[in-house]
């Protein structure tokens, strides 16, 4: 037997990695199963229960995820749905909805702004 990491399903690998961060692994697999179940890592607990010897070897040499499942082919990709209704607003008679500002130049400077404000309200 060569020194290779033990291959486990991806979900089990993720849970074993999280479990390793939370507790220190022990060779007592029953204790590790209990701790995994207490923390909600049910896939890892089930895998350890079924693969006691592989767990003990992986404890020393490490674990790695199995190759990912093959992704879908182009045949599996659904067709693009037809576009929904367009949400545009029509303008009446071709008129612009925004009217351009008058060409009258605004007074400049703070004094002119104060006079303009006073003229508007007093």
pLDDT at 20 exceeding the cut of 80: yes
Q: What is the pLDDT of residue 46?
A: 92
How far is 109 from 107, CA to CA, in rounded Å? 7
Mean pLDDT of the chain: 76
Higher pLDDT: 31 or 87? It is 31
What number of other Cβ atoms are within 10 A of residue 39's Cβ?
A: 15
pLDDT per position as a tens digit, 58-117: 878 888 888 765 555 556 666 777 777 666 656 665 554 555 555 555 557 888 888 888
pLDDT at 57 exceeding the cut of 80: yes
H/E stretch holding 80 reads none
How far is 21 from 11, CA to CA, in rounded Å? 16
What's the predicted TM-score (pTM) here?
Answer: 0.52
């Amino acid at each position: 037997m060569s020194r290779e990491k033990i291959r486990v399903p991806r979900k089990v690998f993720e849970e074993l990695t999280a479990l390793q961060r939370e507790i220190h692994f022990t060779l007592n697999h029953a204790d590790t199963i209990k701790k995994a179940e207490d923390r909600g890592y049910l896939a890892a607990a089930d895998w350890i229960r079924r693969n006691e010897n592989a767990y003990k070897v992986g404890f020393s040499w490490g674990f790695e995820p199995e190759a990912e499942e093959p992704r879908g082919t182009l045949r599996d990709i659904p067709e693009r749905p037809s576009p929904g209704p367009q949400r545009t607003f029509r303008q009446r008679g071709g008129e612009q909805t925004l009217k351009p500002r008058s060409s009258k130049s605004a007074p400049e400077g703070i004094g002119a702004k104060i006079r303009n404000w006073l003229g508007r309200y007093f």
